[in-house]
Structures are given as structure tokens and as C-alpha cells.
Amino acid sequence: MTNFNFPRQLCIECKSIISNPICESCLAKDITYWMRDKNKKIVSLVGHELNKITGKGGHSNSSCISCHKGAFLCPYCFTNLLYSKMKAHHISKAVLLDFLFIFNFDFKHEGYFKDIEKLEEELG
Ligand SMILES: [Zn+2]
Ligand SMILES: [Zn+2]
């Protein structure tokens, strides 16, 4: 059954190989848990965005490290989409920083990692 010639899945956003695939539904579950004590604005904003992302679907060769379902976005792009949305809607800096702390997939320090440093400085 194993086909070693299977192409590795590329993230549909950044087009790079998804090296640590976590599928959209596993990430959505974690983020929904994170939202349990957040206000209505955040819950509806992030919830709406989550539905949009998980609805994208498509064919995927990657296998989620947790449930083995296919992932078509890398965890960085997934969390960055939500983070950008919250930032654009002026969600409080404390909440943004909390989100980035918990869902920090910017291992290369090229994306929202810079925002973490900036937010930490601003919030003291
Ligand atoms: Zn990506
Ligand atoms: Zn999964």
C-alpha cells in the first residue's frame, strides 16, 4: 500500500512542503478551546475564519501527525491567517500576544515572530 513516490504536500498558501502537518480540523479544535474564555467579538471573528479555512478542503497527500487526515495548509499559514484577521479587526494586543504564544509555528522567525517581540515590548 505504501507508495514512496508520493509527492510531498505543498501548503496552498506559502507553497512550501508541510513538514509537520497538523490538519485543519485538529488545529481548529485547539483554537476553539483557546477561545472558550474570549469575548463574543473574537469568537465570532475567529469562528467565521475557521469555517472559511476548513471549508477550503481539497486533495492532500500529507498526513496529520495527530489524526492522519490530510492537511493542505502548513500550521504557520493556518495560524497566520487567523492572526492577521484578528489584527485587522483591532483585537486587543494582550489577546494577540496570547494567541501567538500558544500557536507559535514561526520556527524560522520570518513572519509573526517579529510581532511577538514587538507586542512584548509594547505590553511591557
Ligand atoms: Zn504555508
Ligand atoms: Zn488532524
The predicted model gives 46-62 an average pLDDT of: 86
What is d(CA 11, CA 27) in angstroms, rounded to the nearest whole number?
A: 15
Q: Ligand 1 is a single-atom ion; what residues have CB below 5 A from it? A: 11, 13-14, 74, 77
Ligand 2 centre from 98 Cα, in Å?
23
89 alpha carbon to ligand 2 midpoint, in Å? 28
Ligand nearest to the CA of 12: 1
Percentage with pLDDT > 70 across the chain: 93
Q: For residues 45 and 71, what is the distance between their CA atoms, to the nearest angstrom?
A: 22
* pLDDT (tens digit per residue) in 57-110: 667 888 999 999 999 999 999 999 999 999 999 999 999 999 999 999 999 999
Ligand 1 midpoint to CA 41 (Å): 26
**How many other CB atoms are found less than 10 A from the CB of residue 93?**
15
Domain boundaries, the chain: 24-123
Residue 3 is which amino acid? Answer: N
Distance linking the first and last C-alpha atoms of the chain: 54
pTM: 0.90
3 band by pLDDT with thresholds 50, 70 and 90: very low
